Amino acid sequence: MFEIKHRDAMGRIGIMEVKGKRIETPLILPVINPRLQSISAREIEKIGFKSIITNSYIIYKNEELRELAVERGIHKMLGFGGLIMTDSGAYQLFEYGRVSVGAREIVEFQNSIGSDIGVMLDIPTPPDASYEKAEKDLNETLKRARESVEIPRKMPLAGTLQGSTHLKLREKSAREIGKLGFDVFAIGGVVPLMESYRFSELVRIIMHSKKFLPLNKPVHLFGCGHPMLFALAVANGCDIFDSAAYSLYAKDDRYVTAEGTLRLEDIYEFPCSCEVCSTYEPKEISSLDKKERETLLARHNLHAMLQEIRRVKQSIYEGSLWELVEKRARNHPYVLSALRTVLEYDLEKFDPVTKNSAFFYSGPESLRRPEVLRHLKKLNEIKFRAEKLVLLPEAEKPYARTYDIESSEDYHVCIASSVFGVIPLEIEEVYPLNQHEAPEPEKAQVEFMKTRVKKYSKNFERIFVHKSLKFLKGEVFEDLDMFRREGNIKIKMQAIADYQFGRGVGEVLFEDVRAEVAITGRIRRVYSGGVLLATLRAQDGFLILTPEGAKKLLRLPYPRNRVVVNKDAEEFVKEGKSVFAKFV
């Protein structure tokens, strides 16, 4: 049902296959009121939306709508050919305290009207509820979840996570509902947090929920419809969003952008080129009657939502989602606080090790990104022979060519980096060390560099620092000639292997090596005798092992540097199918 095509941060571009429809995520579902539509579902489809969500409980409670939906099906009733997800009435339960339908009954009804994705009827608990109330509500939600998932149906079903603002209950909810075989997981009970700009609490709930959910299913963040949150929520691992905000804001003369919300009366020039903003001036729309004004603003708001989702997808594809998140975080202090909260968590295992775009530093938060933390961790994996450390300032990349120097058995030469702390020249071509850009260092960067250099320097007997780095501890020098030695391919290749695969791998892979060097001076292929062991990929400096190179890793103790296949996958792999297709 859900195939992941591209990843960045915890975000992913995925394909959902539902009832013959192929829908791409991240995905925003405009909410359609089945009784009253400021913009029809058909118009929403023309704007470019391939999916919508509507409330099955409203349909169920209205005799005329119910008969129409059962007779014609939800798609013909709404006039929408794309994917239709139906909510169960939990919002009405949250707003009014009760609904007159059972959990089983509403799931069966959604199935009967041809919903593409249904939603179980959970018990939504508001933020800040007591632990006792939240636990009681959650236990009832879990009971309903177990009942709902067993109902015979043709439609996929979403299981909703609850727990108020109690993270332990959110984790319990994710663990239990994650076991039940739902097709989509929905994080509920968070709209009040978004309405009151409590975004840091929102991301904690997402992170503590995601931690215990299967990774092969999409996650729906209920009620998130403002484009200024899409990038952050996607980076946290959310795939699907929905909201009636486009219409609700329009009724209040509010104009949505990815940077925030503007009041129509305060707009001098529309910062958008959608069909509405290209046709009308702000004063023209202001002069229209309320219904016309509301319709035009709602249309623009839909365009703004769709445009931001597309921008998020593009950033995932090119590997620049973190840059987009940092950019959006600068639009509101509470979004920035939420980004800082996200960066408190260990995201390194979810973030791709190589990307199509460079690492751009945009503020102190960049120093806490997974790429930086991964580098600092991997530095500890490298075994160096030299006992003397030489520290040089940042310069034009590649550094080794600019300075005309390489590390040797006598001197370990590094760049004191304002982004990555320390960059050994042996590994400078590995992504993202040679593929990053930053402005002139600010105080936070300098302090970060000093801290990382101090820690790294403890591994060496003597430290030499260039005169421009005299604020660092070490023997100051000006003339670089005293450290120049003949380059050593073996030292370089062993360092790259340790950095990529782990400590000690370099010695196993490259005991005796020679290299094929391109006209640019970069190593392209590595041999042992006449046997090709590896190539270095040009775009990111990663080692790509040949079968002969990979066999050398078998000398390492089991199960290190191996993919271990479970017994239930053995026949699948023996048939020649890829182990990565399903089992990793």
Check whether 96 has a pLDDT greater than 90. no
Average pLDDT over residues 450-469: 96
What is the model's pLDDT at position 583? Answer: 41
What is the model's pLDDT at position 582? Answer: 45
Q: Is 46 helix (H, G, I), strand (E, B) or coil?
A: helix
Q: Is 453 helix (H, G, I), strand (E, B) or coil?
A: helix
* Confidence at 562, pLDDT banded by 50, 70, 90: confident
Check the CA dihedral 16-257-312-363 and report its sign: negative
What is the model's pLDDT at position 580? Answer: 63
pTM for the full predicted model: 0.92
What is the model's pLDDT at position 90? Answer: 66
What is the model's pLDDT at position 443? Answer: 93
Which ranges of 151-273 would DSSP assign to H, the alpha helix?
167-178, 191-195, 199-210, 230-235, 245-251
What is the model's pLDDT at position 37? Answer: 79
The two structure tokens encoding residue 477: 């020098």
- Span(s) in the chain for CATH 3.10.450.90: 505-574
**Structure-model confidence comparison of residues 96 and 124, the more confident one:** 124
The two structure tokens encoding residue 501: 């695969």
- Span(s) in the chain for CATH 3.20.20.105: 2-265+300-342
Check whether 34 has a pLDDT greater than 90. no
* Confidence at 468, pLDDT banded by 50, 70, 90: very high
Check whether 102 has a pLDDT greater than 50. yes
The two structure tokens encoding residue 110: 């959604």
pLDDT above 70 covers what percent of the chain?
96
**Structure-model confidence comparison of residues 543 and 88, the more confident one:** 543
Average pLDDT over residues 61-67: 89
* Annotation says 87 is catalytic: yes
Check whether 18 has a pLDDT greater than 80. yes
CATH of domain 505-574: 3.10.450.90
Average pLDDT over residues 372-381: 96
Average pLDDT over residues 90-99: 61
Which ranges of 282-344 would DSSP assign to H, the alpha helix?
282-286, 290-318, 321-329, 333-342
Average pLDDT over residues 164-173: 98
Check whether 487 has a pLDDT greater than 80. no
The pLDDT tens digits of the residues spanning 409-437 come to: 999 999 999 999 999 999 999 999 999 99
What is the model's pLDDT at position 350? Answer: 93
What is the model's pLDDT at position 129? Answer: 96
The pLDDT tens digits of the residues spanning 336-355 come to: 999 999 999 999 999 999 99
Choice among 87, 137, 239, 498 that is catalytic: 87
- Give one word for 561, left, alpha or beta, with left for phi > 0 and alpha for psi -120 to 50: left
Check whether 584 has a pLDDT greater than 60. no
The two structure tokens encoding residue 125: 């608990």
CATH of domain 364-483: 3.40.50.10630
What is the model's pLDDT at position 515? Answer: 87
Check whether 98 has a pLDDT greater than 70. no
The pLDDT tens digits of the residues spanning 256-277 come to: 999 999 999 999 999 999 999 9
- Span(s) in the chain for CATH 3.40.50.10630: 364-483
What fold is seen in the domain 2-265+300-342? TIM Barrel (3.20.20)
Average pLDDT over residues 300-313: 97
Name the CA dihedral angle for 190, 193, 195, 197, rounded to a multiple of 10 degrees: -140
The pLDDT tens digits of the residues spanning 128-151 come to: 999 999 999 999 999 999 999 999
pLDDT above 90 covers what percent of the chain?
83
Angle ∠(445,450,453) on CA atoms, nearest 5: 120
The two structure tokens encoding residue 182: 């739902």
